[in-house]
Amino acid sequence: MIIVDLTNVPYVDSAGIGALMGAHVARQKDGRALALVGVNQRVKDALEVTRVFSFFRVYPSVAEAESALSNV
């Protein structure tokens, strides 16, 4: 399981989205989980515009992500 904490990330560009997608694909191939935490509205909008938001599991806090992913 990988948890990416984006709490202090004000925005992402195409390179950042590409890196997140690469991590998602790598985790998926290994049968592991990837979660995003602390996604602000600007980052969420960028992920939605590029139509990749639905690929990610998004949680408000690291603790909630850990709890949800402990069974994965």
pLDDT at 4: 96
For every residue of the chain, DSSP letters joined together read -EEEE-TT-----HHHHHHHHHHHHHHHHTT--EEEES--HHHHHHHHHTT-GGGSEEESSHHHHHHHHTT-
Q: What are the structural domains, with CATH classification, of the chain? A: 2-69 (3.30.750.24)
pLDDT at 61: 94
Residue-wise pLDDT tens for the chain (72 aa)? Answer: 899 999 999 999 999 999 999 999 999 898 888 999 999 999 999 999 999 999 999 999 999 999 988 865
* pTM, 2 dp: 0.86
pLDDT at 6: 97
pLDDT at 19: 96
